[in-house]
Structure 1
Amino acid sequence: MSCFPSQEVAQGILEKAARLATKGRYGEQALDPHPVPPASQDSFDVPLPRNGRDPGEVIEALDRAARPGLSGMTQPGFMSWVIGGSHPVGVAADWMAAAWGQNACVYDASPAAAEAEAAGAKYLLDVLDLPRDSSVGFATGATMAAFTSLAAARLCVLERAGHDFERKGLCGCPEVAIYIADDAHVTNYSVLRYLGFGSNQMRRIPTRTDGTYDCDALERAMEKDTAPARIVLAQAGHIMSGAFDDFGRLAALCKRHDAWLHVDGAFGLWVRASRRLRHIAEGAELADSWSVDGHKWLQIPYDCGFAVIRHEEYHRRAMTMQAGYLPDGERRRNNSDYVPELSRRARGFAVWAVMHCLGRKGIEDMVESHCHAAHLLAQAIKRLDGVEVVNQQCLNQLAVAFECQSGDGAEAVAEALNASGRYFVRTASWRGRKLLRFSITNGDTGPDDIAPLVDQIIAAWQAVSLAAA
């Protein structure tokens, strides 16, 4: 007896799910960018029935349980974190991938999944203008992309230092010096711990006011260090300021000290898609590896990230799994050779579809539109009394201080914007100040959306200032 419904019932379930899902995005009941926590927290915590429920009823119950706690992450007013809007073509391709039920592990299991990722990898290297012979792994996001990249880096630098990591692991290995900016994204510190590195191996380098390396301090640290194996982590798009490291100087330092250079480009690396703006990330192509997200600026549905590595040999050696039932030594692409997962969803279908839908020019126009929108917002609000745009706006990120006597101006403005039902923004602490962050990343957001946002900010700030007077 099959546990699956009939083909006719299954078709109805999928159509109902599509109606309910799109109602929250395109219909009259669009999700509030800022979710209000439901009055009851037990919408999901109900007894598991002994006998199964009607499939259509289950889907409706799921919608009722989830909807009060869903964020409108796909809405143009969502600017709290760097999150893309999930392009409808990507959503459709992802639904197809789920319906096809492909395990994207090896070529023999799903040639289509392998070919889609191979094509997507070529598009990615072309759009980001990275070395075309680099290898690409499709990971869950930039965190696991960094893990993959730095696993390859660990293997490489230890081998250069004369240590057989594949046989001995970290046991008795030479010291590895990890140079990382003191203001680097927290996920990089986590990834290093996952890879077996502790605080003794991490050389935390002071940063400038924009969160990027003090390259003079880095150079001094590398000159006096005696560790035989070295890795340098750089940033393309600081999470608060949007700033970029000096990749040309970092690459020269790494070459001098035989170090591996990795670039955390979770969202900022996409600026290389723009011919007008790519100078901001000039020199990033000189690195040994890059981690970048697809579910941020490329608007791929969650989850999607890319580990891009110049040295395919180390990439494959760090990731390849071997077993008697898996293909060995074949020339065709096995996706599991490039990421830590064996069983996983076929991420390449959504990537292929969205990149074809946008085209090279569409990606370029989107990046430039978001950066222009952030510039317009910065120019408008920096004129307000008591308001300071803390970062030198060069990308799609703004960090804004609202100074008032009560001391909580940023939090009060954020609450007012979120209460409007049109926006979702969040505050963050950076360099001893409470700041309001704006991340303009949604594919539906552009320069035309800035004027009404400015009006809301002005009204909120005036109310806060009056209350504090």
Structure 2
Amino acid sequence: MDAREAALRRAHDHAVRWLASLSDRRVPARASVDEIVRALGVDLPGGPSAPADVVDLLATACEPGLTAFPSGRFYGFVVGGTEPAALAADWLVSAWDQNCVMRAVSPAYTAAEEIAGAWLLGLLGLPGDSAVGFTTGATMANFTCLAAGRDAVLRDAGWNVARDGLAGGPPVRVIAGEDRHMAVDLALRYLGLGRPELVEADDQGRIGPEALRRTLAEGGRSPTLVVLQAGDIHSGAFDPFAETIRAAREAQAWVHVDGAFGLWAAASPRHAHLTAGCADADSWATDAHKTLNVPYDCGLAIVRDPLALRAAMGLQGDYLIQHEHGDPIDKVPELSRRGRAFTVWAALRSLGRSGVTDLVDRLCRHASDFAAGIAAIDGATVLNEVVFTQVCAEFGDDARTERVLARLLDDGTAWISGSTWHGRRVMRISVSNWSTTDDDVTRALDAIRRASAGVPRPAGG
């Protein structure tokens, strides 16, 4: 116990110092992979080391190679930070070391999962009797939901995929917008369904109901999944759910919504119009690490029909202690998993309903402030309608935009990365961190202005 306590105390001290450094440190890492490898040591020791010393070595060797993802000035990807209560709960998750798959084995975890799931459904305005599974992230949440949908549409066509597999069965059509996230394609590949048929999207990434109807009609009646999007990764735009879901229903398709970060708009009265009609879908995927800001490894797979999810994900074994009311094992792919619901429960209990609303509204306000600040920079153009937490901008042409991005990363004040959208290189800003302040946005905008001022505008621009 003495060795364990000493190691935990060292870890606590290093964690506190790391978190305290976030307000002032450069956001990009200062050291390379090779430098960290040398600091950690490549040779496995011949004998044991004191746990506290191992923690010290890990922390001191890795610190220069850490990117300040939890900083309020990281905007490179849609990744949140970690709310204080969720961070502390995650430490308890590791200390408790629970097997979180069976109700009888860990009633504490099952209770937290059921409560957190019910709270989530209420906040997101989704059917209250839906099943909520806690996955590794949004990719596996999409996989889980689409697995339930795949099996359900095949079952409706008279094919038992659990018993007979896919070979020889009716082909499953999958239809998605041309601007869907790549995680959807990855999940479909895992499921043996291949690339989706694409529906043309508008300049913000939204698919139109009539375009969807035409695509559905081209294939005739066959088992079909339709994938919609709550929050385009570049523009933040939302598909028009009421009309597109109606079109999908006319074709008797299963409707899935990829809402990795955007589904949380439903928790804000100011932004809930973006998700109007979304609750009429069959399944929804999101990620609690993004907008809700719990630690990594916490996707959410939500399926309207609990029996459909259980049919796709349920597992039985002679040695398992299964409960008549169902178990966490029935809702997600993994047998071994962290107690993800503990951290979600902690974040929601700490924030309360109004706190979640304020968090969503604050992230959106910061995005609007970024857009206004960039629009005022000579030579810069904001390219998207800023409806949620995403901002895309260019600085004259692709070459100049790339140089502005490079200077910005060299500056180190903020991390804002580039992307390609509609064939153009863009600066893409994702505002996702609960700890981002008005001052953080001001500092980041000042850095963008410095970077832009240091790059000559193209001739004639």
Matched, 1:344 2:340: no
Q: 1:25 maps to what in 2?
A: 19
- Aligned counterparts, 1:131-150, within 5 A: 131-150=127-146
Q: 1:116 maps to what in 2?
A: 112
Higher mean C-alpha displacement, 14-23 vs 228-237 = 14-23
- Aligned counterparts, 1:376-415, within 5 A: 376-403=369-396, 407-415=398-406
Distance 2:377 2:42 in 1: 50
Q: 1:280 maps to what in 2?
A: 274
Q: CA deviation at 1:69?
A: 1.6
Q: CA deviation at 1:456?
A: 2.2
- Call closer, same or farther: CA 1:59–1:390 in 2, change over 3 Å: same
Q: 1:316 maps to what in 2?
A: 310
Distance 1:426 1:216 in 2: 35
Distance 1:32 1:329 in 2: 51
Higher mean C-alpha displacement, 444-453 vs 385-394 = 444-453
Matched, 1:125 2:129: no
- Call closer, same or farther: CA 1:419–1:62 in 2, change over 3 Å: same
Give the secondary structure class of the aligned counterpart of 1:408.
helix
**Contact 1:25–1:31, Cα closer than 8 Å, also in 2:** no
Give the structure-2-normalised TM-score.
Answer: 0.96
Q: 1:256 maps to what in 2?
A: 250
Higher mean C-alpha displacement, 440-449 vs 458-467 = 458-467
Distance 1:33 1:335 in 2: 38
Give the secondary structure class of the aligned counterpart of 2:92.
helix
RMSD: 1.8
- Call closer, same or farther: CA 1:317–1:258 in 2, change over 3 Å: same
| Unmatched segments (≥5 aa) in structure 2 | none
Give the secondary structure class of the aligned counterpart of 2:445.
helix
Q: CA deviation at 1:198?
A: 2.0
Give the structure-1-normalised TM-score.
Answer: 0.94
Higher mean C-alpha displacement, 355-364 vs 162-171 = 162-171
- Match 1:237 to one of 228, 231, 237: 231
Distance 1:33 1:459 in 2: 16
- Call closer, same or farther: CA 1:321–1:438 in 2, change over 3 Å: same
Q: CA deviation at 1:447?
A: 3.6
- Call closer, same or farther: CA 1:95–1:30 in 2, change over 3 Å: farther
Give the secondary structure class of the aligned counterpart of 2:194.
coil
| Unmatched segments (≥5 aa) in structure 1 | 1-6
Q: CA deviation at 1:45?
A: 4.9
Distance 1:326 1:157 in 2: 29
Distance 2:438 2:267 in 1: 19
* One-letter amino acid of the counterpart of residue 389, structure 1: V
Q: CA deviation at 1:163?
A: 1.0
Q: CA deviation at 1:466?
A: 6.6
Runs of 4+ in 1 over 4 A off after TM superposition: 27-31, 466-469
Q: 2:286 maps to what in 1?
A: 292
- Call closer, same or farther: CA 1:459–1:29 in 2, change over 3 Å: closer
Q: What percentage of aligned pairs have identical amino acids? A: 37
Q: How many residues align?
A: 458
Q: 2:297 maps to what in 1?
A: 303
- Aligned counterparts, 1:33-432, within 5 A: 33-38=27-32, 40-43=35-38, 44-199=40-195, 202-331=196-325, 333-403=326-396, 407-432=398-423
Q: Deviations over 1:192-215 (max 9, x none)?
A: 01001124xx21222111112143
* One-letter amino acid of the counterpart of residue 52, structure 1: P
* One-letter amino acid of the counterpart of residue 114, structure 2: A
Higher mean C-alpha displacement, 419-428 vs 293-302 = 419-428
**Contact 2:238–2:274, Cα closer than 8 Å, also in 1:** yes
Give the secondary structure class of the aligned counterpart of 1:40.
helix
Distance 1:99 1:132 in 2: 32
Higher mean C-alpha displacement, 305-314 vs 457-466 = 457-466
Distance 1:37 1:427 in 2: 21
Q: CA deviation at 1:465?
A: 2.4
Distance 1:220 1:466 in 2: 44
